[in-house]
């Protein structure tokens, strides 16, 4: 149990730091109202979870500890759907309803496609 918690905690710390670094980097390169950093992080996280899920489906002998550290810890801290919701809400609050709708649709549809693509990469 302690090793599971440690794997999740380590994965979570690395996921949070990765999310921060990517979000900050994208924000510096492409400043603007559209939350591109959050969108990119969500797409990458969905692609990664599709790949990992596919790997563990096909290879159940792979370490459950590694699976928990990566999927629960790292990706749980890395993906940012709570931030996604707040970003969409802020666009709505600022009177940018059409941009908010585009952001929500692109995020949800893009992440579903990225999860499918990640899974297909393992097939």
Q: Where are the domains of the chain?
A: 2-121
| 44-56 tens-digit pLDDT | 999 999 998 889 8
88 neighbors 94 (Cβ within 8 angstroms): no
The yes-or-no verdict on residue 123 having pLDDT over 90 is no
Q: Which residues are annotated as a binding site?
A: 76, 79
The yes-or-no verdict on residue 83 having pLDDT over 90 is no
Q: Can you point out the beta strands (E) in 32-116?
A: none
Q: What is the mean pLDDT of residues 11-15?
A: 97
- Structure tokens given for 96: 């940018």
The yes-or-no verdict on residue 71 having pLDDT over 80 is yes
Q: What is the mean pLDDT of the chain?
A: 92
The confidence score (pLDDT) of residue 108 equals 95
Q: Which residues are annotated as a binding site for Na(+)?
A: 76, 79
pTM of the shown model: 0.81
In the chain, the percentage of residues whose pLDDT exceeds 90 is 73
Q: What is the mean pLDDT of residues 25-39?
A: 91
47 neighbors 62 (Cβ within 8 angstroms): no
Q: What is the mean pLDDT of residues 28-56?
A: 91
């Amino acid at each position: 149990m302690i090793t599971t918690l440690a794997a999740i905690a380590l994965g979570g710390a690395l996921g949070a730091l990765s999310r921060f670094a990517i979000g900050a980097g994208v924000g510096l390169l492409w400043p603007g109202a559209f939350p591109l950093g959050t969108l990119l992080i969500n797409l990458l996280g969905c692609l990664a979870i599709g790949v990992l899920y596919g790997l563990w489906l096909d290879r159940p002998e792979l370490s459950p500890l590694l699976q928990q550290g990566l999927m629960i810890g790292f990706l749980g801290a890395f993906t940012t759907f709570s931030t996604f919701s707040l970003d969409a809400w802020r666009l709505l609050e600022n009177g940018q309803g059409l941009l908010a709708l585009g952001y929500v649709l692109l995020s949800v549809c893009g992440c579903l496609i990225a999860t499918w693509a990640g899974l297909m990469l393992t097939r």
